[in-house]
Amino acid sequence: MKTLGVFNIKGGVGKTATAVNIAYLAAREGFKVLFWDLDPQGSSTYYFRVKPKVKGGTKGLVKKKHDLEQLIKGTDYDNLDILPADFSYRLLDIELVEKKLTTLFKILKPVTDDYDLLVLDCPPSISALSEHIFSVVDGLLVPIIPTSLSLRTYEQLMSFREEKGYDNSRVWPFFSMVDRRKKLHRDIIDHASEEYPEFLNSYIPYSSIVEQMGIKRAPVHAFAPASPPAQMYNSLWEDLKFRLQLL
């Protein structure tokens, strides 16, 4: 099972929308996908029309008090299951702070042979949970709004990882919520290849269609498959598939 984390220190950057759409595209292509909504806000769980509740909550998961397979729920889509969010995940940092960095892997171990891809929707922070996530993923997808502050938090993330000895070649940043009507967005993207050559070529446009995911409670492709955001998520998925060696 390959593991993809969708992460940013900042919130409101299109992280959850990206995680949901990438998971959907992978499942649609026939890969068995498990989605873990680690964010106590439960937005991904809401999009997938699943109740944000895990029996036993954070402590039950970490101490493996319940059968993981019974905690995983199906979604409306073939090949796509979800381990839902739970409001107690706000305490996950506290539970993990003294634990070995293999703890998340051990929680998931009972189902690793059942899925091709695990997608982690990570809460916005840099914390003990973040380090556990960094230790378990094959790739870390980082959505960045083309603004100075967003790029600054990206640099903070890369510096933190470098100090801790993580492999930064496994961090895959891309621009998100791009509004090409804004000169600042255009300027940053046009010059990004010089300063940030590691950025993926695909970017997700700012669009009301993505915002409609909250009304439709579905991935973009389920209600607007020909829209520009859907096409750009396709492009992003093709890039990720190659990087995760899922071809």
Cα-based angle 138, 139, 141 (whole degrees, multiple of 5): 155
What residue numbers bound the domain in which 129 lies?
2-244
Q: How far is CA 235 from CA 83, 175, 196, 228, in A?
A: 26, 13, 19, 11
- Give residue 32's pLDDT band: very low, low, confident or very high (50, 70, 90): very high
Give mean pLDDT, residues 175-192.
93
Share of the chain above pLDDT 90, in %: 91
| Mean pLDDT, residues 172-201 | 93
**CA 225 – CA 227 distance, rounded (Å):** 6
Instruction: Give φ, ψ of 88 to 5 degrees.
Output: -70, -10
pLDDT at 146: 95
CA–CA gap between residue 84 and residue 37 (Å, rounded): 5
Distance separating alpha carbons of residues 66 and 145, to the nearest angstrom: 39
Average pLDDT, the chain: 95
Q: Return d(Cα 210, Cα 220) in angstroms, integer.
A: 6
Give residue 2's pLDDT: 96
Confidence of residue 141 (pLDDT cuts 50, 70, 90): very high
Selected residue with higher pLDDT from 98 and 78: 78
Number of folded domains that form the chain: 1
In this prediction, residue 192 carries a pLDDT of: 87
Say whether 227 sits in a helix, a strand or coil. Answer: coil
Other Cβ atoms less than 10 A from the Cβ of 234: the count is 15
Paired sense of beta strands 73-74 and 139-144, if any: unpaired
Identify the pLDDT of residue 247.
76
pLDDT computed for residue 193 by the predictor: 82
pTM equals: 0.95
Is the predicted pLDDT of residue 155 greater than 90, yes or no? yes
pLDDT at 12: 93
Task: Tell me if 7 sits within 8 A of 141, measured CB to CB.
Answer: yes
- Residue 208 confidence class, pLDDT cut points 50, 70, 90: very high
For the segment 42-53, the average pLDDT, to the nearest whole number, is 96
Query: Is pLDDT of 111 > 90?
Result: yes
What CATH number is given to the structural domain containing 13?
Answer: 3.40.50.300
The answer to whether 233 and 19 are in contact (CB under 8 A) is no
How is the beta sheet containing 203-205 ordered, strand by strand? 73-74, 80-83, 33-37, 117-121, 2-6, 139-144, 171-178, 203-205
pLDDT value at position 64? 87
Mean pLDDT of 9-16: 94
pLDDT range class, residue 220, cuts 50, 70, 90: very high
Q: For the chain, what percent of residues have pLDDT higher than 70?
A: 100
87 phi and psi, to 5 degrees? -60, -25
E-strand stretches of 85-196: 117-121, 139-144, 171-178
